[in-house]
């Protein structure tokens, strides 16, 4: 089931983030102390918000101090790149569509 939710989160990150917030029993609130961070994450970097919450609660660092380990930071960086790629692809599509409409 977590693998299915992960695949769903990559395809529809805002819907997955909303469902985790709604049904997650405070999963996001344990990571982000302010609702404002969750809202900003929902708007700008939804996949990164989900991944950071996951790795901060399930992947401790090697020393066991409760921080995020190297693998957690790598996963978070990949999520940032995916979020930026999702945003960039939409802008590129919009510019290409606009050029086609202007030419017609």
| Closest to 47 in 3D by CA, of 74, 99, 8, 73 | 8
Q: Taking the C-alpha atoms of 50, 86, 84 and 24 in order, what is their torsion angle to the nearest 10 degrees?
A: -10
Tokens representing 8 are: 């769903």
Q: Taking the complete model, does pTM exceed 0.75, yes or no?
A: yes
31 Cβ contact partners less than 8 Å away, ≥ 6 residues apart? 52, 53, 56, 57
Q: Which pLDDT does position 61 carry in this prediction?
A: 72
pLDDT mean across residues, the chain: 83
Do the beta carbons of residue 55 and residue 79 sit within 8 Å? no
- Report which of residues 49 and 94 the model is more confident about: 49
For the cut 60, the answer to whether the pLDDT of residue 102 exceeds it is: no
pLDDT for 50-87, tens place per residue?
A: 999 999 888 877 666 667 888 889 999 999 998 888 66
């Amino acid at each position: 089931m977590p693998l299915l939710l992960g695949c769903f989160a990559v395809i529809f990150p805002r819907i997955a983030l909303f469902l985790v917030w709604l049904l997650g029993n405070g999963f996001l609130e344990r990571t982000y102390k302010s609702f404002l961070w969750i809202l900003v994450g929902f708007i700008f970097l939804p996949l990164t918000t989900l991944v950071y919450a996951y790795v901060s609660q399930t992947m401790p660092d090697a020393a066991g101090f409760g921080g995020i380990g190297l693998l957690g930071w790598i996963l978070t960086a990949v999520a940032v790149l995916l979020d930026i790629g999702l945003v960039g692809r939409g802008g590129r599509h919009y510019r290409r569509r606009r050029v086609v409409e202007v030419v017609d």
